[in-house]
Chains A and B, each alone.
Chain A
């Protein structure tokens, strides 16, 4: 890729924002699996493949699956954050592939938060 100039960087930012804030585009929900070393050690890879398996069988691929770094609360790993369009995100902890399938069905497809596994809703406070 060619080097960017200042203006091009700004343009790039705007485009990227669309994706990260889940505003426009084809996706209506987004799953973030937290994959730092500790997440992986606790089994985050299995969680990713479980989510992938569920997305695979969807007729419409409107669920975005992405990974991210450690979410901080290592004792609850593996964790994932689920975001539906225009709704606050929900963090799930202590996940297993079975729990993943339930979260996928009830929350992502059905829109109902699986309260038993949820740690909290919204996001953390910034400075």
Chain B
């Protein structure tokens, strides 16, 4: 075996990061274990038991904590963010941004008194925002949608739905714009936008093909419809053809179970489909454009 050279940075000091650091260090490498929190341990340090085995979390973690603390080849760097990573496999340069602690780490006992007595602890510190601008053709439509829905109770869902159908997906800029105009945090809008399956964050084709994967369709072989479609269109599920005509998706149930297996192209439902019908249907939409 050749002699090991260089060092490894492990980013994130949770249980997996800790184990990785230990394994690497044991194999003879110098390890920098980086975490953005004041200490390593991650989520597991907060747990009593772990699922599904119900093992005691601390019993799993404590030995590793001790070992890492003692290991001569592991250097722990906490309260640090990654500023930049450059280079290539085998030769990386990582620039960290170490946050100031304003205290002498050598002497600190971790008693926490400074936190409880900090005078600015509970003050809101607003971030500076830059104004989002939209291209005029987008802006008009989006403003109109916002105007219709703004005064309803709980307007966000309706706004997102209408934007989704107007542009066939949710463009990132538009979401930022909505956040700014309606006053929801962008993180909240993104949470909603990613939760529901009918929203898309990437552009979709003109015809969205939804293959029903409800139970009735499934037992009647809708999986094979999907395979055939994927063959014919030469794309995988959740992908869009390069000509932006078709997007292939699966849907939970379109309530057409009497006609299983079924698929929906746009708003049209096709029932009692067989793999043989597929090339013909796709051809029809292709000529339609």
B262 within 8 A of A: yes
- Name which residue of chain B comes closest to A73, CB basis: B258
Tell me, in angstroms, the Cα distance from A75 to B259 when the chains sit together: 7
Contact mask A59-82 → B, CB, 8 Å, 1/0? 000000000000000110100000
Whether A41 lies near B255 (C-beta < 8 A) is: no
Distance A75 CA – B268 CA, assembled complex (angstroms): 18
A75 contacts B258, CB within 8 Å? yes
Question: Which has the most chain A C-beta neighbours within 10 Å: B258, B268, B271?
Answer: B258
Within 8 A of B (CB), among A13-63: 37-38, 40-42
Mark B273-286 against chain A: 1 for CB-CB distance below 8 A, else 0.
Answer: 00000000000000
Provide the residues of chain A in CB contact with B255, threshold 8 Å.
Answer: 37
| Inter-subunit contact B269/A77 (CB<8 Å) | no
What is the chain A residue whose CB lies nearest that of B272?
A42
Whether B259 pairs with A74 at a CB distance below 8 angstroms is: yes
For A38, A40, A74, the residue with the greatest tally of chain B CB atoms inside 10 Å of its CB is A38
Total interface residues in chain B, CB < 8 Å: 12
B254 CB–A CB distance under 8 Å: yes
- Expressed in whole angstroms, the minimum distance between the Cβ of B246 and any Cβ of chain A is 19
Residue B256 interfacial (CB < 8 Å)? yes
Q: How far is the CB of A42 from chain B (nearest CB, A)?
A: 6
In the complex, chain A residues whose CB is within 8 Å of the CB of B257: 74
Inter-chain CB contacts under 8 Å: number = 27
CB-CB < 8 A to A40: which residues of B?
269
Nearest CB in chain B: distance from A47 CB, A: 14
Residues of B within 8 Å of A38, CB to CB, are: 256, 258-259, 269, 271
Query: In this complex, which of A38, A40, A41, A77 has the most chain B Cβ atoms within 10 angstroms of its Cβ?
Result: A41
For B258, the chain A residues whose CB sits under 8 A away are: 38, 74-75, 77
What is the CA–CA distance of A74 and B262 in the complex, to the nearest angstrom?
13
Closest to B269 in A: A41
**Is residue B270 within 8 Å, beta carbon to beta carbon, of the partner chain?**
yes
Q: What residue of chain B has the Cβ atom nearest to residue A45's Cβ?
A: B268
Report how far A74 CA is from B260 CA in the complex, Å: 10
CB distance from A44 to the nearest CB of B (A): 11
Give bound CA distance, A74 to B272, whole Å: 11
Assembled-state Cα–Cα distance A43/B255 (Å): 16
- By beta carbon, the residue of chain A nearest B273 is A41
* Residue in A closest to B258 when the chains form the complex, CB atoms: A74
Chain B nearest CB, measured from A46 CB (Å): 13
- Which residues on B sit within 8 Å (CB–CB) of A37? 254-256, 269
Shortest Cβ distance from residue A78 to the other chain B in the assembled complex, whole angstroms: 10
Cα separation A42 to B254 with both chains bound (whole Å): 14
User: Shortest distance in angstroms between A38's beta carbon and chain B's nearest beta carbon?
Assistant: 5
Please name all residues of chain B whose beta carbon is closer than 8 Å to the beta carbon of A75 when the two chains form the complex: 258
Q: How far is the CA of A58 from the CA of B257 in the complex (A)?
A: 38
**Residues in B230-276 with C-beta less than 8 Å from chain A:** 254-259, 262, 268-272
The chain B residue sitting closest to A74, CB to CB, is B258
A-B complex: 3 closest residue pairs judged by Cβ atoms: A74-B258, A41-B269, A41-B271
B residues at A contact (CB < 8 Å)? 254-259, 262, 268-272
What would 18 more interface pairs be, CB under 8 Å, given A38-B269, A42-B271? A37-B254, A37-B255, A37-B256, A37-B269, A38-B256, A38-B258, A38-B271, A40-B269, A41-B256, A41-B259, A41-B269, A41-B270, A41-B271, A42-B259, A42-B272, A74-B257, A75-B258, A77-B271
